[in-house]
Amino acid sequence: MENWSLVSLSVLLALTARWAVSFNSYSGAGKPPMFGDYEAQRHWQEVTYNLPVHEWYFNTTENDLNYWGLDYPPLTAYHSGLCAYVAKLINPEWVELHTSRGYESPAHKLFMRATVLVADILIYIPAVVVYCLYLVEGTTKKKVTTIFCILLYPGLILIDYGHFQYNGVSLGLALWGVIGLGLGWDMLGSLAFTLALNYKQMELYHSLPFFCYLLGKCVKHGLTGRGLLLLVKVAVTVLVTFALCWLPFLLDSRQVLQVVHRLFPVARGLFEDKVANAWCSLNVLLKIKTLMTMETQLSLSLVLTVLAVLPSSIKLFSKPTLWQFKLALVNSSLAFFLFSYQVHEKSILLPALPVCLLLSDVPLVAIYFLQVSTFSMLPLLLKDGLLLPYAVTSLAFLYFSVTLLSALQRSTDEQLRLQPYHTFLGSVLPCLPRLNLGRITKWKFVVSMVLMAGLSVGSVALEPPARFPDLFPVLVSFFSFLHFLGFLIYFNLLQLSETPARSGKKSS
């Protein structure tokens, strides 16, 4: 009973933090004519309620795709339609065709914020609780502490309850997929992840680990017996789920092609805003867009992404355990974020989810990553007027996670699983004395926190030189990119090595 009281308290505090952030500004508040993501979500409700399904993704007289046209998969559209029906019951003006554009009022803001909260309560938060209770090893205190720290992660809270999106839905469904596979319920896991992919196409960042884990498990069981049966069951589950999600569009091939075209806007180019990935960072020195054709950019991006994901995927395929699966989710999504085509700053939430799942295993590194991931979105958060919630939630997460998970105390080489680095450095530089990498990592963590605080203050308080108006956004993105590249190397070495992990006990 006491355990459930602690879990309930953790959830209640997490809900309080979310609702407190929701009182702040949002993307595009009072900024016509396009407003921002808040208006995009409201407009999708307007479109899905008033127009027939076959017009949702097409440019028509009633549906101007240049004004926040639908560019997410069908499950997002259905969710928007469901929210629209509730909105219509409360106040029809909120979803009136055309005349509701740019609608802003305290009552409507309350409704929109509530839809995010309800989605979290139904999908994301239960997934976090179930994952920690059943798949995190250790004492009850450790499980509850992990629940609290994951739910307090500021990046997701600030984007969903500040900026305004529904990332908790797709991430929650993906987490249900992890839970399904971790507990041996492969069909349930496949179903949940397929739903996540049909809610947001960016879940492709996680798709290779799901595919390699399930295929590796089938091969392990033998493709002429149990493995073949499992492969058939998983394939049927995925195909049927896809078919049901896309059912209204399958009768017309033009509909399917148009939806796919909307989901993957290649014409937008390699990148747009200041994102902490390889292309934006390289663009500071080398103007990629002017030196390469769009086709070359697309090909280069594809090749580098595949090369970055390949070692992790092969390792998972050969050894399909839960520990390998979690690390592959980090490595795959982080590689996609760093090297793939048309990445948004908010996409860092995709690597952040599996890193959250490692909070109980390598707390210092996980906290380090999650803090940098929130910091990497600073220019977007400042643009939305979210400085105060950014500062408060970041400091709260840093304090509680470091304290409750004893992150600075659990920072020896062995606890951080840094043995692969010693082996690597010993083979490359045999004359180098054995370094205390745990202590170096701890000091890097402290120095990085101080530098991020300084850049955060500088971004607000200092005026950039006239010659470099984007100085601070560029510094933030480049600083974050260097860290993400380091994390990619760390997590790949962690996965590719044979370092024993307690989590590895849970295998297929």
Cα–Cα–Cα angle for 187, 190, 194, rounded to 5 degrees: 140
Distance CA 412, CA 437 (A): 8
The whole-angstrom separation of Cα 170 and Cα 45 is: 18
Looking at residue 508, what is its pLDDT?
43
Q: How many CA atoms lie within 13 A of 74 on its CB side?
A: 20
Domain ranges of the chain: 2-29+104-505
β-pair partners for 321: 507
Q: How many residues does the chain have?
A: 508
The pLDDT of residue 313 is 97
| Non-local CB neighbours of 354 within 8 Å, separated by 6+ positions | 178, 206, 326, 327, 329, 330, 333
Q: Which residue has tokens 């938060």?
A: 125
Contact yes or no for 245/265 (Cβ under 8 A): no
Distance CA 62, CA 50 (A): 9
> What pLDDT score was predicted for residue 421?
73
Written as six digits, the tokens of 38 are 């808040």
**What is the per-residue pLDDT across 425-468, written as a single tens digit (0 to 9) for each?**
666 666 656 778 888 899 999 999 999 999 999 999 999 999 98
For residues 102, 104, 108, 109, the Cα torsion angle rounded to the nearest 10 degrees is: 110
Write the DSSP symbol of residue 163: I
The DSSP code for 91 is -
The string of DSSP codes covering 225-258 is THHHHHHHHHHHHHHHHHHHHHGGGTT-HHHHHH
Rounded Cα–Cα distance for residues 269 and 289 (Å)? 8
Is the Cα torsion angle 424, 425, 431, 436 positive or negative in sign? negative
Angle subtended at Cα 418 by Cα 416 and Cα 421, rounded to the nearest 5 degrees: 160
How far apart CA 220 and CA 317 sit, in angstroms, is 9
pLDDT at 168: 97
221 three-state secondary structure: helix
Measured between its terminal Cα atoms, the distance across the chain in Å is 32
What span, in angstroms and rounded, lies between the C-alpha atoms of 366 and 372?
10
Contact 176, 168 (CB under 8 A): no
Q: What does the angle CA 348 – CA 352 – CA 354 come to, to the nearest 5 degrees? A: 135
Backbone dihedral angles phi then psi of residue 321, each to the nearest 5 degrees: -110, 165
Q: Which residues contact 26 (CB under 8 A, 6 or more apart)?
A: 36, 37, 38, 109, 162, 163, 164, 384
Tokens 């839960």 found at: 322
- In this predicted structure, what is the pLDDT of residue 1? 53
* Secondary structure tally for the chain: helices H, strands E: 23, 0
- Cβ within 8 Å of residue 93, ≥6 positions away: 99, 100, 103
3-state secondary structure of 75: helix
Q: Where are the beta strands (DSSP E) in 101-253?
A: none
From CA 161, how far away is CA 183, in angstroms rounded?
Answer: 31
CA angle 211, 217, 218 (to 5 degrees): 90
Kindly report, residue by residue over 335-368, the tens digit of the pLDDT. 999 999 888 899 999 999 999 999 999 999 999 9
Burial of 69 (0-12, 13-18, 19+ CB in 10 A): middle
Residue for token pair 């400091």? 395
Identify any residues that bridge with 507 across adjacent strands, giving them in sequence order. Answer: 321
Place of tokens 């739903």: 195
Task: Specify burial of residue 434 (Cβ count, 10 A radius: 0-12, 13-18, 19+).
Answer: exposed
Alpha carbons within 13 angstroms on the beta-carbon side of residue 370 total 33
Q: In which residue ranges of the chain is pLDDT below 50?
A: 500-508
